[in-house]
Amino acid sequence: MRHAQGRARRAGAALAAVLTWAGLLAGATGCTSGGTGGPAGIFGKPPAAKDVIRVDPDDGSKEVRPGRKLRVRVADGRLESVKAVKSQDAQDTPVTGHLSRDGRTWQPDDDRLALAARYTVDAVAVDGEGRRSARHTTFTTYVPDERFIGYVTPENRSVVGTGMIVSLAFSREIAHRAAVERAVHVTARPPVEIRPHWFGKDRLDFRPRHYWRPGTQVTVELRLRDVEGAPGVYGLQYKTFSFTIGRSQVSLVDAAAHTMQVRRDGELLATVPITAGAPKHTTYNGKMVVMEMLEVTRMNSRTVGFGGEYDIPDVPHAMRLTDSGTFLHGNYWSTPDPFGRANVSHGCVGLKDVKGGGSQTPAGWFFDRSLVGDVVEVVNSNDKEVSPGNGLGGWNMGWKAWKAGSAVE
């Protein structure tokens, strides 16, 4: 009898177990987070966040190279939120981005990763069965060994003449000129068409078709940071410069007549006697722009390709017109007085002055009324026209030829 009772108890237990499994398989949910995923969803662990939310580059990646894209994806379900932050130069910047229409992919609005930066990504997603997952990842990007910068003319916040040309001199030769050109933006208010022109591999100039209108506000945006200018060489700057166009002053030097007519806003201010380059050292013809103004400077003939003809330690009221050494400057040493009568210089334009520089002399008068960016045009000299790339001589190039110097088609 006891054996019969034991067998009955064992049979009852077995039947209860079968019924329990049947009930679970029929849809009991237990402590899951609302899903109905069957035995694996009930008794197994929920999927790991890294399996639900895929972030590329991978968590912990280092030296991520240029060209990689930041992407956040889910295989099914949707992304609820993605927050990305770029840490660079001790500054945190949110990375703006957007979701795809199906909500499964997020990508930045700017698809280019910054170099020498640390990225942090926080994403929340809901999978196809309603389970929520969150993931936090970080990665760092490549730190280049070589960088380049652009030196901008004119100076930030300066007031310049109507002939100013925006000129960028790069610290390294640029092989990828189109990429660099696209990263530089020059705009004006009121608007005017402004076009770029390359001079060689390390200089990029910008100008409008005609001289700037007085009062124009010009802005130069350098978006060079992380732009590859040459293989393995990346830009460093992300800066904005601005300057203002002042009044119009254009001076016409007639080398044959030994005079300079100074016009302000089209009106003749004065006709000043000058001396230009002597027959063996003539002055360039053409439009030149005042690049810098020096109260006093030293001029040594050996620095501009001559012999030991001169070395003057205190040239007053000197205004540079070309890279090759053409100046318009005060002259106190030439005797007898050549101004208005003869050309005796080594290629410069000289105005009468006194030692130390006098404010009431022709040179002092002109210096006090000049700005960097003013135009000085030379005519009737027995020499060639100044090269457009010599100083800010781009005004000597026609508009069609100027535009043809862009690297962007």
The pLDDT value recorded for residue 47 is 82
- Domain final residue, candidates 88, 119, 140: 140
Whether residue 28 is contained in a domain is answered as no
Whether residues 379 and 308 share a domain: the answer is: yes
- Domain final residue, candidates 107, 140, 173: 140
Backbone angles phi, psi at 403, to 5 degrees: -65, -30
Whole-angstrom distance, CA of residue 164 vs CA of residue 153 = 9
Whether residue 4 is contained in a domain is answered as no
| Whether residue 4 has pLDDT greater than 60 | no
Whether residue 259 is contained in a domain is answered as yes
Whether residues 120 and 175 share a domain: the answer is: no
Most confident of the ranges 26-30, 147-151, 300-304: 147-151
Whether residues 384 and 260 share a domain: the answer is: yes
The pLDDT value recorded for residue 304 is 63
Model pLDDT for residues 164-188, shown as the tens digit of each residue: 999 999 999 999 999 999 999 999 9
The residue annotated as part of the active site, out of 197, 258, 329, 346, is: 329
Whether residue 264 is contained in a domain is answered as yes
Burial 69-100 (b: 16+ CB within 10 A, else e): ebbbbbeebebeebebebebeeeeeebebebe
Whether residues 93 and 162 share a domain: the answer is: no
The pLDDT value recorded for residue 311 is 83
329 catalytic? Reply is yes
Q: How confident is the model at residue 90 (pLDDT cuts 50, 70, 90)?
A: confident
Whether residues 386 and 266 share a domain: the answer is: yes
The pLDDT value recorded for residue 43 is 47
The average pLDDT across 331-349 equals 95
Rg (CA), the chain: 37
Whether residues 74 and 151 share a domain: the answer is: no
The pLDDT value recorded for residue 24 is 37
- Domain final residue, candidates 214, 246, 278: 246
Whole-angstrom distance, CA of residue 318 vs CA of residue 295 = 6
Model pLDDT for residues 103-158, shown as the tens digit of each residue: 999 999 999 999 999 999 999 999 988 999 999 999 999 999 999 999 999 999 99
SS3 70: coil
Q: What is the pTM of this model?
A: 0.79
The pLDDT value recorded for residue 307 is 65
Domain that includes residue 186, residue range: 146-246
Whether residue 180 is contained in a domain is answered as yes
| Whether residue 9 has pLDDT greater than 90 | no
The tally of domains found in the chain comes to: 3
Q: How confident is the model at residue 46 (pLDDT cuts 50, 70, 90)?
A: confident
Quote the DSSP letter at residue 13.
Answer: H
The pLDDT value recorded for residue 142 is 95
Write the DSSP assignment of 37-87 as a string of letters: -HHHHHHSPPPPHHHHEEEESPTT--SBPTT---EEEESSSEEEEEEEEEE
31 catalytic? Reply is no
Q: How confident is the model at residue 34 (pLDDT cuts 50, 70, 90)?
A: very low
Quote the DSSP letter at residue 67.
Answer: T
Whether residues 126 and 155 share a domain: the answer is: no
Whether residues 260 and 378 share a domain: the answer is: yes
Reference 143, options 62, 252, 247; nearest CA is: 62
Whether residues 182 and 266 share a domain: the answer is: no
The pLDDT value recorded for residue 20 is 39
Whether residues 302 and 382 share a domain: the answer is: yes
Strand partners, 329: 350
Q: What is the largest CA-CA distance in the chain?
A: 149
Whether residues 234 and 263 share a domain: the answer is: no
Whether residues 186 and 257 share a domain: the answer is: no
- CATH number of the structural domain spanning residue 363: 2.40.440.10
For residue 164, give both structure tokens.
């100013």
